[in-house]
Structure 1
Amino acid sequence: MRPVPARPGRKLGPIAQELSSAHRAWLDPMRETYLHSGLTLSELSVRVRLAKSKTSELLRGIGLYPRWEIIFSLSRELKMPYWPLYRLWRQAALEAHKSREWVDRCTEKTALMTSHAAPPLDHRAFRELVESFYSLYAQVFLDDEQRDIAVSDTFDILWLRWNDALASPDTRRFAWNVLRTTVMARTPHVDSRPALGWAAFDTVALQSVIAAADRVDQIAETLELFTAMSRLPDHQLDVMVLRRLCGIPLEDVCALLGIPPATVRSDERHAVHFLESVICPPETEGKTA
């Protein structure tokens, strides 16, 4: 990540805590782009013809949901790609209960400017390589509709932040962190840990998890296993989901996460050991002490 240039004036305040994940999906990249632009709030507000206080509120997610014309003007001054920003803005607007008529009215004047755009060639190539794997991962936590939204949002966010992804130590790891953040923002949590969805029962390698833990042979016990898996550290949970629930080969998991095989094997081994330690073995009928 590029260092944030020093700028005069009051520092931009934090994003509102109650902001939805869909709203943050486009606001976070816009804030980051602004913070690294070298512009002050005063300069930016003059360029987009919006009061400084309103510009500050918009970049903090405070107040009414902003109209697309304003976001479009900001994106032009910050040199952000319009199309992924528009799709993220539109999805957040609908989730904020804005009508489709309201969305359409907001985009009438800029429709031609936000259509027929294509991401960078290397972004498209990357998406072709990983999209099916990303969908398998998201399916474990989300229903079909939410899975598709999360994966689509991931690639739109990556488009907005593609230069940062390329400049990072590992583009694959950068992209995976975007996917994970996006999926987890839409995943129900219990005691601050992600809940595996019902789709996890349909994963092709469920039986291999059962065999590895060597404890589970009924639905109730499978639920116990999923609860235990949710307690794993994030990196171990990801490895177990990819390897044991999605059945993805070791070399592909390494490529997705941007980590070496030894690390994947270690995470998998420690995860299985943890699961075996917390899932009680079934009592053996007639067993004597």
Structure 2
Amino acid sequence: MIWSPDAGQPPAPDTGGRRGRKPAPIAASAGPSHRAWLEPVRSFLFASGLTLDDLVSRSGYSKTRISELLRGNGYYPAWEITFSVIHALGLPAQPMRRLWSAAAHEAQKQPGWIKQCIQQVAVQPEPAPVAHQAFTEAMSDVYTAYARVFLLTDQRAHWVVTEAFDILWLCWSHAAVSENLSRYAWRLLRARVMARAHRDGDGHPDLRAAVFSTAEVHDGVPGHFVALSELVDLFAAIGHLPDDQMDVTVLRHLYGVDLKEIADAVGLSEAITHAVDHHARAALERLLDAPSPRE
């Protein structure tokens, strides 16, 4: 079973009776950037049917160190051992190196340490697959607009979109043959955004700050730094919508993306996207009409 972008930690596959224990879950201490590369790498290993002993033999590192790397436990792994694992699994090094570097910063590794680790491993330049390049160019603007609503700044939005595209490249051999590439990629992006989105007290994405940072005026939505207090409840309600309804509402009504482009981005048919938009409007009316706890 191959990792799904919104599935969290992937299950171990049926190894057909081969030796080896069920892999331990990822350590709770692993941050979002660390999990961004660790989850798909674990999935590729589990789906390959290789045992830990096989990976030890192919990588040249001890079972203890490989096991710690796969659990995200202990010290953040150096690039050399990380590269040896992905090389053994046949995964592309270029996107993985960027993902590893971001997670190293997250783990508060010094820039000098990161640079030295990278310099110790010679990696040949490798262009992304042409189809991947075309896909990222087509989706970049919509993805960034979506991420900006939740993450509030252009810098954070661009960073998370780049992370999502690197994970997509890492998983391209499976993503490209999935039944719905756009849906696969959208769920991947969404998972990365939601891993960093601010939450309200109930655990829903908290969009109230987006009232002050939406980029354009669309259907009465404010522009930069325009605080309209009556919109705060609306933005809070959007964060309580089901996933597809929230996504379509954010793109359609906060950024004015047309429904055809939304359908292409989120991987739904135009008819379903229209229906989702309709249901979202009705759901928002119910949420806004419901009495607040203060009342």
- Normalising by the residue count of structure 2, what TM-score does the alignment of the two structures yield? 0.87
Summarize deviations over 1:105-128 as a string: whole Å, max 9, x none.
Answer: 111221x415x3211111001111
Alignment of 1:32-51 (within 5 A): 32-51=43-62
* 1:178 equivalenced with 2:192 (yes/no): no
Return the letter of the residue paired with 1:32: S
Amino acid aligned to 1:135: T
* Aligned residue number for residue 146 of structure 2: 137
Aligned residue runs from structure 1 range 215-230, under 5 A: 219-230=228-239
Cα deviation, residue 149, structure 1: 1.2
Tell me, in whole angstroms, the C-alpha distance in 1 between the residues paired with 2:227 and 2:118.
52
Structure 1 range deviating more: 258-267 or 180-189: 258-267
Distance across 2 between alignment mates of 1:128 and 1:105: 32
Structure 1: state its 5+ residue gaps: 211-216, 282-289
Which one of 130, 141, 149 corresponds to residue 159 of structure 2? 149
Aligned pair in 2 of structure 1 residues 60, 52: CA closer, same or farther (>3 Å)?
same
- Tell me, in whole angstroms, the C-alpha distance in 2 between the residues paired with 1:197 and 1:85: 34
Partners of 1:177 and 1:52 in 2: CA distance: 33
Q: AA paired with 1:138? A: A
Question: TM-score, normalized by length of structure 1?
Answer: 0.88
Q: Which residue identity lines up with residue 162 of structure 2 in the other structure?
A: S
Report deviation, 1:10.
0.8
Distance, in Å, in 1 between the alignment partners of 2:158 and 2:69 is 27
1:9 positional shift: 1.5
Change (3 A) 1:278 1:5: closer
Q: Residue 232 of structure 1 corresponds to which residue in structure 2? A: 241
Kept in 1, the 8 Å contact 2:168–2:185? The answer is yes
RMSD (CA atoms): 2.1
1:97 aligns with 2:115: no
1:52 alignment partner, one of 46, 63, 73: 63
In the alignment, what sits opposite 1:286?
none
- Residue matched to 1:277: 286
Pick closer, same or farther for the CA change 1:50–1:137 going to 2, 3 Å: same
Displacement of 1:203: 3.6
Summarize the alignment of residues 59-138 of structure 1 with structure 2, pairs less than 5 Å apart: 59-110=70-121, 112-113=122-123, 116-138=125-147
Rg comparison, structure with higher value: 1
Identify the residue that residue 248 of structure 1 maps to in structure 2. 257
Aligned residue pairs, count: 273
CA distance in structure 1 between the partners assigned to 2:79 and 2:275 by the alignment: 47
Q: 2:216 aligns with which of 179, 185, 204?
A: 204
Aligned residue identity for 1:152? T
Q: How far apart, in 2, do the equivalents of 1:264 and 1:205 lie? A: 22
Identify, as 1 or 2, the structure richer in helix. 1
Runs of 4+ in 1 over 6 A off after TM superposition: none
Question: How far 1:164 moved relative to its partner?
Answer: 1.4
Would the aligned equivalents of 1:208 and 1:244 in 2 still touch at CA under 8 Å? no
State the alpha-carbon separation in 1 of the partners of residues 69 and 187 from structure 2.
25
Indicate the SS of the match to 1:31: helix
CA contact (8 A) 2:263 2:273 kept: yes
Tell me if the contact between 2:239 and 2:246 (Cα under 8 Å) persists in the aligned partners: yes
Question: Structure 2: how far apart are the matches of 1:197 and 1:147?
Answer: 17
Using the TM superposition, give the Cα deviation of residue 38 of structure 1 relative to its aligned residue in structure 2, in angstroms.
Answer: 2.0
Deviation at 1:154, TM superposition (A): 0.5
- Verify the 8 A CA contact 1:200 1:245 in the aligned structure 2: no
SS in 2 for 1:12: coil
In 1, are the aligned partners of 2:208 and 2:235 still within 8 Å (CA)? no
